[in-house]
Amino acid sequence: MAKYKSILVLVFCFLCTGIVKAQQQDIYFLIKKNFSIFSQTYENVALEYVDVIDPEKLMRIGIDAMLETLDPYTVLYNESQNEQAEILSRGNYAGIGIEAGYRDGNVVIVAPVEGGTAERVGLKAGDVIVAIDGISTENLQPEEVQTLTAGEVGSEVTLTIQRFGVDQMLDFTLKRERIEVKNVSHTALIGDNEDIGYIKLAQFGQQSADEIRTSMIELGEQKDLKGLVLDLRDNPGGILQEAVSIIDKFVEPGLMVVENRGRIAEYNQTFSTNEPVMFDKPVVVLINGGSASASEVVSGALQDLDRAVVVGEQSFGKGLVQIVKPMPYNTSMKVTIARYYIPSGRSIQSVDYTHEGRNSGVIKREQSSNVFKTKNGREVKEGRGIEPDIVVETGAPSLLEISLLQKGIIFDFATQYFAGNPDKDLKTIPQGIFEGFKNYLEKVNFDTSDELEGYIDILEKELKGVAGSESRINELRTLLDQQKDQELQNSRKFIEQTIWLELQTRKGGLSARTNASLSIDEQLKTAIDLIKKPAAIEDILDGENN
């Protein structure tokens, strides 16, 4: 009987091998067949079409159209784009400080680089880039957008932005600067007793994990830490191995933290921890809509392993893995080869691509019907990026606030104010700063209601000579003035805090500004409150609040 079983197993293996070989032969035949058709078509057009066609441009259009049926991250770099990509990967380039991504058919800002010109003028994660210097971004890939925004130091570029909740398009003119992107951009001791560590990780570049280790050691040498806040907000991701090494600092060896699954076996990898635990105190991870890719791996893995509480807003949802393959003539191809899966077994990808044509449709993934559970049995969701354990949303700026940032009014006022008060104590928001700002607005004739003013002017001309019209027009102007004053009053907190942060920059640089911003950060305050109450963290991670 055992003999017959062995024979059956051998027959089964033989049949499976035959099926695999047949499938491989089919795909190679289809590749050869369609390549022959394509090459003959290309040759006919290049040589015989009625107008002279640039064969290189024609081929590139065809390749781009083919790749656009796949996903926004699979792209071909020509020689100049290849060099640009290398410059960007080194984190030292002249640009405006944005990371572009793709969502719902639009090119969006995944995250502004901390300290970059984009952040200073008020560009935000989630802003849709409609045009660059008047060139529509429709049909452009994020890499092409990145290329358009890079250039000579000191040159200017204008971005046309569509912002959620704002009806009109917004134009931002930015000056390109030499940008050196750091991995760990800020560390600090926070909390009432300054016994909680804070680390802001801006990207997952080379040596990110070593920088995290160094920062943790330095903070621990200054104070016996009660806990740690790892800030991954607006972190667009980067090197996966660095993400795994960072997770390694917080959990025991031998735990799977992320798995790559694709069609090709050699690309399927499982990454596990292998170092002793470095930090065993409470951990809170901060995320938002600008947290993508490796940021989602770290926050999602620590959530799945019930090692950290995740606070903030839903992450971006990029769970696709790319590699860069060298190509002939100094070109290269970045191609998606797998998906990320984190310890619970869930994917973090929030969008599916149909592959049905150029600019292939995207499908917002519904929550999976599969139930995924963390190490302690908490239910977690798939297909929506990483959802925080505690949601703390930040309010969207009003049109007035956008306009103040867009036109540099707050920036200019802070410059003028600091020039006249260089020795002023800036530990808190200076008294009377809001009234001084209102006076400054009148001085520079700032007005957000030009359109409404124009309509009133038209009405005044149309109704000239009509009995009683003059008083009614005056009433409208009074109402408009009252509305503008009320809008300004509603934005008082935002204006005062933004001026204060600008003044901090002038007095102590970006580090002083960042420290000041931490004191008014509502998401960070939530994280601090959690670490001060370890029992609350334990309840969340044990599923008591589910």
Q: Is the pLDDT of residue 15 over 50?
A: no
Does the pLDDT value for residue 144 go beyond 90? no
Does residue 99 lie in a domain region? Answer: yes
Burial of 176 (0-12, 13-18, 19+ CB in 10 A): buried
Is 333 a member of any domain?
A: no
Give the tens place of pLDDT for each residue, 487-543: 889 999 999 999 999 898 888 776 788 889 999 999 999 999 999 999 999 999 998
* pTM greater than 0.85: no
Do residues 404 and 385 both lie within one domain? no
The overall average pLDDT reported for the chain is 85
CATH code at 290?
Answer: 3.90.226.10
Q: What is the pLDDT of residues 178-232, one digit of tens each?
A: 876 679 999 999 999 999 999 999 999 889 999 999 999 999 999 999 999 999 9
Q: Residue 471's pLDDT is what?
A: 74
pLDDT at 321 over 70: yes
Residues found in the chain? 546
pLDDT score of 374: 96
For residue 56, is it within any domain?
no
Q: Cα–Cα distance between 405 and 401 in angstroms, integer?
A: 6
Are 213 and 255 within one domain? Answer: yes
> For the segment 335-353, what is each residue's pLDDT rounded down to a tens digit?
999 999 999 999 999 887 8
Q: Tokens standing for 541? A: 């991670």
Answer for the pair 295, 286: CB distance below 8 angstroms, yes or no. no
Is residue 301 within 8 Å of residue 247, measured between CB atoms? yes
Q: 373 and 264 in one domain?
A: yes
Is 436 within a domain? yes
**Domain end residue (candidates: 156, 180, 204):** 180
Residues 260 and 383 in one domain: yes
The number of domains in the chain is: 4
- 410 within 8 A of 502, measured Cβ to Cβ: yes
Q: Is residue 247 domain-shared with residue 128, that is, in the same domain?
A: no
Give dist(CA 399, CA 395) in Å, integer. 13
> Does residue 253 share a domain with residue 282?
yes
Same domain, 407 and 504: yes
Range with the poorest average pLDDT among 12-16, 475-479, 524-528: 12-16
Indicate whether 174 belongs to any domain.
yes
Q: Is 10's pLDDT higher than 70?
A: no
- What number of H helices and E strands is found in the chain? 16, 23
Integer angstrom CA distances of residue 205 from 88, 103, 109, 269, 297: 11, 24, 19, 20, 15
Say if 535 falls within a structural domain: no
Pairwise pLDDT comparison (447 vs 187), residue with the higher score? 187
Separation between Cα atoms, residue 184 and residue 159, nearest integer Å: 28
Average pLDDT over residues 352-378: 75
**Res 389: pLDDT:** 97
H or E element in which residue 270 lies: strand 269-272
Tell me, rounded to whole angstroms, the distance of Cα 454 from its chain centroid: 38
Out of 118, 153, 180, a domain closes at 180
Which tens digits make up the pLDDT trace of 188-203? 999 999 999 999 999 9
In the prediction, which pLDDT does 404 show? Answer: 86
Q: What is the pLDDT of residues 255-268, one digit of tens each?
A: 999 999 999 999 99
Residues 156 and 225 in one domain: no
Domain span at residue 423 reads: 399-446+491-523
**Statement: residue 11 has pLDDT above 50:** no
- List the structure tokens of 287: 């995320």
Report the distance separating Cα 379 and Cα 369, nearest Å: 12
Whole-number pLDDT of residue 227: 97
Looking at the structure, tell me whether residues 188 and 302 fall in a common domain: yes
Q: Inform me whether the pLDDT recorded for 83 exceeds 80.
A: no
- Cβ–Cβ under 8 Å, residues 363 and 351: yes
Rounded mean pLDDT of 14-18? Answer: 50
Give catalytic residues, as residue numbers. Answer: 293, 304, 318
The residue with greater pLDDT, 411 or 133, is 133
Q: What is the mean pLDDT of residues 119-133?
A: 85
Q: Within this chain, do residues 234 and 375 fall inside the same structural domain, yes or no?
A: yes
d(CA 159, CA 132): 5
194 lies in the same domain as 240: yes
Q: Is residue 541 part of a domain?
A: no
Residue 71 lies in a domain: no
Q: 14-23, 39-48, 342-351, 460-469: which has the minimum mean pLDDT?
A: 14-23
- Asked if 174 and 213 sit in the same domain, the reply is no
Name the domain boundary from 180, 201, 222: 180
Q: How far apart are CA 494 and CA 498, in angstroms?
A: 6
> DSSP labels for 106-123?
EEEEEEEPTTSHHHHHT-
pLDDT of residue 20: 47
Question: What share of the chain has pLDDT > 90, as a percent?
Answer: 50
